[in-house]
Amino acid sequence: MNTHATIEAPTRELSYAEAIREAMDIALGSDEAVVLMGEDIGVYGGAFQVTGDLVHKYGEDRVIDTPISELGGAGVAVGAALTGLKPIFEFQFSDFAALAMEQIVNQAAKVRYMLGGAVSVPVVMRFPAGSGTGAAAQHSQSIEAWLGHVPGLKVVQPSTPEDVKGMLLAALEDPDPVMIFEHKILYKMKGHVPEGYYTTPIGKAAIRREGKDLSIVATSLMVHKALAAAETLAGEGIDAEVIDLRTVRPMDRETVLNSVRKTGRLVCVYEGVKTLGIGAEISAMVAESDAFDFLDAPIIRLGGAECPIPYNPELEKAAVPQIPDILEAARAIAKGHV
């Protein structure tokens, strides 16, 4: 059951949303302790149609529509985990986690510690996140750094269909609460996904493109923008290494630091607000290690603007890093202009 997928495993193309649904289907079918919870996840199929028709296959006792109360629903999910179930709780939008922070931060994250390890809280929470859909300020945030600040939680940001399936299944094996942030723009993105059961390790970054001139550490949708920028840079003679962080907490120090030691330059790209964001933690991690001595230029952080996400599509794009921003930063750092 714990064997990771290999490249020899049969694969086919699935969308990111289909990969999540397949993972939940496998989990429901193989473990009676697994239940799905969330607003409108039953007959409606979820706000982004990710749950689909699973309610017809497993019934309303396993695919449970919760009332329109994030605090109440999250509390039920945490309580269910304490009784031995393995709930997967879906928020309609990651922004709505603000309504359930009591249960996430003060209960799920702390109960195991407060009871001396006598209990665990194997709850998985799914958060559709990020901008790009014109959903404006209260439905477009990237709040993974909020939850990444909390000891007791694990926070992941899968960027591919293969990883989101494997990380969801890995999360269900974990005794601690796992928060999965799924960028809404990725739901329709297709990619090769191995068949059957496999897990993708939590806490391990992936090198999506090897390079020698600079390291770009990116998260979620920004991984794909970084890869697109890296292709353009390659045509200019700049060889960029792209690291998909995948896990915000616990963060993969080894992969990031080894890359910086190799390239001597670092650009961090993430959609959350720049201040006190993931890039700040990565920068501090480098500064507090011997990798700092390998830097040939200052670290550049590309994060979200200091404002709520606008509704206007052009302003929305301007509020988060785009490919031209990555290109500008990479060119500057590679040519010593910073």
Domain residues for the domain of 281 are: 206-334
1 belongs to a structural domain: no
Domain end among 194, 219, 244: 194
5 belongs to a structural domain: no
Same domain, 187 and 216: no
What is the reported pTM? 0.95
Among residues 22, 39, 70, 182, the one annotated as catalytic is: 70
Residue 9 has pLDDT above 90, yes or no: no
314 is catalytic: no
Mean of the pLDDT values across residues 204-226? Answer: 98
How many domains does the chain fold into? 2
Among residues 90, 139, 162, 241, the one annotated as catalytic is: 139
Same domain, 32 and 145: yes
63 belongs to a structural domain: yes
Residue listed under structure tokens 């193989």:
30
Mean of the pLDDT values across residues 70-98? Answer: 97
Give me the pLDDT at residue 1, please: 43
2 belongs to a structural domain: no
149 is catalytic: no
d(CA 75, CA 255): 36
Residue 337 has pLDDT above 90, yes or no: no
d(CA 82, CA 98): 22
Task: Name the DSSP letter for residue 102.
Answer: I
d(CA 70, CA 141): 17
Identify the CA nearest to 177 among candidates 75, 278, 96: 75
Q: Which residues contact 109 (CB under 8 A, 6 or more apart)?
A: 150, 151, 152, 153, 177
pLDDT tens-digit profile of 38-47? 999 999 999 9
